[in-house]
Structure 1
Amino acid sequence: MALRVETRPFGERLRDGFSYLASRTPARFAIVIFVGLIALFTSLLSLPAMTTSGRVADLADALFTATSAICVTGLVTVDMATYWSPLGQVIIVLATQLGAVGVLTLASVMGLVVSRRLGLRQRLLAAGDVNPMALQRGGQGNSPASRLGEVGGLLATVAVSMLVIEVVIALLMLPRFLVEGVEFGVALRDSAYYSAMAFTNTGFVFSQAGLAPYAGDVYFLSLLMIGVVLGGLGFPVIYALSRNLARPRRWSLHVKLTLTTTTILFILGAVAYMALEAGNERSIGGKGVGELAFQSLFLSVMTRSGGFSTFDTGDLNHSSMLVTDMLMFIGGGSASTAGGIKVTTIAILFIAAFAEARGNASMEAFERKIPGDVLRLAVSVVLWGATTVALSCIILLQLQKDANLDAVLFDVISAFGTSGLSSGFTATLEDPGKYVLSGTMFMGRIGTVTLAAALAASQRRQLFTRAEERPIVG
């Protein structure tokens, strides 16, 4: 009697394997998805139809551009306006849209599409994009947006907010192009491009003239700033504000810390640029007080992850470049289109420092007590971020013997913080350097917390406590 071997459809078996991988190691699965997207868009950009010349793009340039797009960074090694064909530019914009969703949220959505349900593991995965500690603590967080029951609403907010904000900004930009006599189809395309690049905090410019024609256009630059700020706040903040915009007392601690720290950094950055660049006519100096203040604010906003610039950022004074380094390293809000160590991370560190200076036993903010494990996570993020930047700088300085440390550090931090501003160093990179900076962008976008969770297959539970002893610090 012959044995019957039951075979299931390939699609069903593939879906089951997909769900199994997602449930076993959610963080690793998210990284696999992210790497897969970079590989996919690298392959697409390597096609002859993607370049204006009709020739196959160099592998290093295709990989760098795909990584920069998926990581919503904005750094480039080729002229975006002349090197890539219109089809190639569309593919790049599509890559930025996928990358803007976030590695964890994107993996959750793909898991939902394939498995046709959002199970507990997928909910944990999406919650981890809102609060990385959810990956370690079963998705339990203090933020309303991080509760498992609201993850479905968060995913809907991600899609709806991206669509609505980008469409509204594009429609507001459209008259600006039409007034100049630009053909309607071209004006609509440019409006959509700039809107998408602003909200995703990418900063790609597909025009040969760049932002030079709009360097003094307050209306156009203000729309870019609005898009960058909304994208950089983070989807959890947008989610919370969409529900309780008029009721600040119901905002979570995460929302309050993000809004407060973001505002403070915008103001401090603008004041710093006004003071440091007032006499530098190559950048924003030599203008009236009003123009100087506006351009300083624009630069302060863009350094956080926007990537747009009305002048060559390599012309900044060295002191201003250092300020820019710090702002780019901090980045924007958690689970946003911005990169960096995130504003809440730096806020936690300052809160801990103030608590220690005052002799307080606990960290408190907005009448809430912050657990100690949040501080440990913040310190870990900063240390891993600083280590990534340091190693990348060392390798690039070794590869590019004639490179200047200031320029290398500037572009490496821009890559890690997915800012997209450049001192001009990226344009001089040879192929090995392009691969190194691509890895830096990848590390900066996926987040050090996600990477750490992916590398740790399981957490050890220590069933004993060792004797306590205090080392000398400081």
Structure 2
Amino acid sequence: MRARRDVLAEGRARRAWLRHPAQLVVAGFLVAILAGTLLLMLPLARSGPGGTGFLTALFHATSAVCVTGLVTVDTPVYWSTFGEVLILALIQVGGFGIMTLASLLAMLVWRRLGLRSRMTAAVETKAIGIGEVRTVIRGVLVITVVIELLTATLLTFRFALAYDEGWGRAAYLGVFHAVSAFNNAGFALYSDSLIGFVDDPWVCLPIALAVIAGGLGFPVWLELIRHGAVWRAWSLHTTMTVSTTVVLLVVGTVFVTANEWGNPGTLGSLDTPGRILAGFFHSVMPRTAGFNAIDYAQARDGTLLGTSALMFIGGGSAGTAGGIKITTFVLLFWVIWAEARGERDVEVHGRRIDDRAIRQALTVALLGVGAVMTATLALVEMTDHALDLVLFEAVSAFATVGLSAGITDDLPAAGQLILIGLMFLGRLGPITLVSALALRERGRLYRLPEGRPLIG
């Protein structure tokens, strides 16, 4: 009898584990990374003789599935066409999966939290309807295909007409970079990324716009399609995401352009339109794409630090961008603003923010800071690289950006494993953490006496 009870308890525990959305997301991405690793280890995936080592394959499979773009080998040289197509497939699977699963989790969390105060008992068994799931998946698919197709078409014509590529090769380059851009992956089929196109608006602008589109997130696109530019009809999430994206793009463009204007190693050799284009491009990429049209190893320390801040913030929720997300950053700003003004409530665009959302934002941001600082300390101790370069690399991995100052392939095996962990944590950590916190929200029948420790 006891053995039977143990078996039943184990079965219930297994079913409960499988029902938890956050755990399903993690398990799904682990399977995708493992499958990608095994396929990249095949001799067919490498252009040279022999197969790829496990660590190299694991690093690039994680970077592709988590749509990061950090690499330890030269993508167009090391990998065969099969390997490149495989990486492209992993990017597409990772990006589509992130947008779909994040949107479904957001919907689940919203419904659970929205109904709880009115129907507590019903909420515990509430699930997303099949029709809604199909709507989300279909919407993400349509948006993905349309934006990637438009971007690929523009790039194909540019590569064919301006760079003397055959139409087949031009189409391949166009599709690869369009998929990599929309999914904010940053993988390129040029050894210097996009440095050769630094002053070409017909290459840089389509890629930059695709990065912005992927970073906004499906919930924002859904509202933009429904309501267009009627911003008064937008939800608080869309208003915060769009407005802050515009502000960060403008501030980032001014900052990068001004800081690197006279640097001959980056923007100094370009004419004025080229410098402005490059400044805008490198304001977009930290959002978190990872393409670079300048050599970050030649960038000034201030640019590296400012870019690290932009990378850490990232893009919109339920999109392909990484970082702590725009809404987290904006919410924390308004928390500070309310506290500085002595306000009791945190109010944003005419709405009072729930205390649970504030706690979740603080949790995501502080855990992100802790992860980056811990990884940076470990990398500094095990390498001879300067602190600013190591911090840049750690933030890039956690925020799933893919920008690098050229030290990725110089890191020891332990350092690469740290970056792998950061990429996985940065991609799935905020999604799973917030959904787990929200779905575990429960009320108490009592409250402890209030305590007020000294702060500051």
**Equivalences, count:** 433
Amino acid at match of 1:213: G
1:52 maps onto 2:28 in alignment: no
Contact 2:100–2:136 (CA<8 Å) still a contact in 1? no
Structure 2 alignment gaps of length 5 or more: 1-10, 118-126
SS of aligned partner of 1:447 = helix
Could you tell me how far 1:228 is from its partner in structure 2?
A: 0.5
Could you tell me how far 1:397 is from its partner in structure 2?
A: 2.1
Please, which of 118, 132, 136 is the counterpart of residue 154 of structure 1?
136
Could you tell me how far 1:105 is from its partner in structure 2?
A: 3.0
Contact 2:99–2:218 (CA<8 Å) still a contact in 1? no
Paired residue for 2:328?
A: 345
SS of aligned partner of 2:113 = coil
Contact 1:416–1:443 (CA<8 Å) still a contact in 2? yes
SS of aligned partner of 1:335 = coil
TM-aligned CA distance change 1:455 to 1:252, over 3 Å: closer
1:313 maps onto 2:296 in alignment: yes
> C-alpha distance in 2, partners of 1:265/1:219?
23
> C-alpha distance in 1, partners of 2:96/2:116?
22
Please, which of 58, 67, 70 is the counterpart of residue 75 of structure 1?
70
> C-alpha distance in 2, partners of 1:46/1:21?
35
Paired residue for 1:361?
A: 344
Please, which of 154, 159, 175 is the counterpart of residue 157 of structure 2?
175
Paired residue for 2:8?
A: none
Paired residue for 2:261?
A: 278
Paired residue for 2:23?
A: 28
> C-alpha distance in 2, partners of 1:22/1:343?
30
Amino acid at match of 1:443: L
- Counterparts of 1:393-412 in structure 2, within 5 Å, are 393-400=376-383, 402-412=384-394
Paired residue for 1:260?
A: 243
Paired residue for 2:413?
A: 431
Instruction: Indicate the larger mover: 350-359 or 450-459.
Output: 450-459
- Counterparts of 1:13-412 in structure 2, within 5 Å, are 20=15, 24-103=19-98, 105-106=100-101, 126-128=103-105, 130=106, 133-134=109-110, 137=113, 148=128, 150-179=132-161, 180-208=163-191, 210-400=193-383, 402-412=384-394
Could you tell me how far 1:463 is from its partner in structure 2?
A: 2.6
> C-alpha distance in 2, partners of 1:214/1:135?
46
Could you tell me how far 1:305 is from its partner in structure 2?
A: 0.6
Q: Deviations over 1:328-359 (max 9, x none)?
A: 00000001111000011010011111222222
Q: Deviations over 1:349-374 (max 9, x none)?
A: 11111222222221222222211211
Contact 2:212–2:287 (CA<8 Å) still a contact in 1? no
Report the identity percentage: 38
Amino acid at match of 2:113: R
Per the normalisation by structure 1, the TM-score is 0.86
Could you tell me how far 1:471 is from its partner in structure 2?
A: 2.0
Could you tell me how far 1:127 is from its partner in structure 2?
A: 3.2
Q: Deviations over 1:360-396 (max 9, x none)?
A: 2212222222112111111101011111111111222
Amino acid at match of 2:63: S
Contact 2:198–2:274 (CA<8 Å) still a contact in 1? no
> C-alpha distance in 2, partners of 1:286/1:184?
32
Amino acid at match of 2:385: A
Amino acid at match of 1:70: V
SS of aligned partner of 1:267 = helix
Paired residue for 1:144?
A: none
Paired residue for 2:396?
A: 414
> C-alpha distance in 2, partners of 1:59/1:371?
46
Instruction: Indicate the larger mover: 22-31 or 365-374.
Output: 22-31
Q: Deviations over 1:450-470 (max 9, x none)?
A: 147569996664331111122
Could you tell me how far 1:403 is from its partner in structure 2?
A: 2.2
Per the normalisation by structure 2, the TM-score is 0.89
Paired residue for 1:4?
A: none
Amino acid at match of 1:186: R
SS of aligned partner of 2:76 = coil
> C-alpha distance in 2, partners of 1:352/1:97?
36
Amino acid at match of 1:44: L
Contact 1:154–1:236 (CA<8 Å) still a contact in 2? no
Paired residue for 2:424?
A: 442
Compute the RMSD of aligned alpha carbons.
Answer: 2.5
SS of aligned partner of 1:340 = coil
Contact 1:305–1:418 (CA<8 Å) still a contact in 2? yes
Could you tell me how far 1:291 is from its partner in structure 2?
A: 2.6
> C-alpha distance in 2, partners of 1:449/1:100?
14
Contact 1:140–1:148 (CA<8 Å) still a contact in 2? no
Could you tell me how far 1:261 is from its partner in structure 2?
A: 0.7
> C-alpha distance in 2, partners of 1:165/1:457?
33
Q: Deviations over 1:31-50 (max 9, x none)?
A: 11111111110011011100
